[in-house]
Amino acid sequence: MQYCANPECGKEVKEGAVFCPFCGTKLAESGARPITEVKRHLSITICAILLFICALIHIINMGDFMAYGDFAGSIGQLFFVLFALIAGLFLWKSKEIGGIIGLAYGIISTIATLALLAYFSEWVTVYGLIIDFSLNTAIIILIIVGWKHLKHS
């Protein structure tokens, strides 16, 4: 598989092509260089790490729900664990689908957090929800900032 030599493009090109059909970069004599590692934009890297942290937080919350015998809460936390992990993995590979899933995660989780903030009045719970709200807001902003660096494949 051959890719464009321009680090901002990096798209797959035909074997033996002289110029990249996407950005116009002149390719090496051999046609193109193989990419050995994915180059991620800093905002996408940070966002993927935040999503993995969110998944870990949801795993801890799932354990708490299970300890209290709240089956529905446990299933809800499992949903968010999978949601965050899938988004994080695709973002780690700099794929556009990771951005879409990550935005969906951030928006849905933010709405759920705001709904819970309206329901709870205990400081410890409110403090945790404010942290959750901050993480979700950061995820949404980081994906928007790094969107143009995501690959469309």
How remote is the C-alpha of 95 from its chain's centroid?
9
Reported pTM: 0.70
Average per-residue pLDDT in the chain?
Answer: 84
How many whole angstroms separate alpha carbon 139 and alpha carbon 2? 32
Give the chain's length. Answer: 153
CA torsion sign, 121 to 125 to 131 to 136?
Answer: negative
Answer yes or no: are the C-beta atoms of 87 and 50 closer than 8 Å. no
Q: pLDDT tens across 28-71, in order?
A: 654 444 544 556 789 999 999 999 999 999 999 898 889 988 89
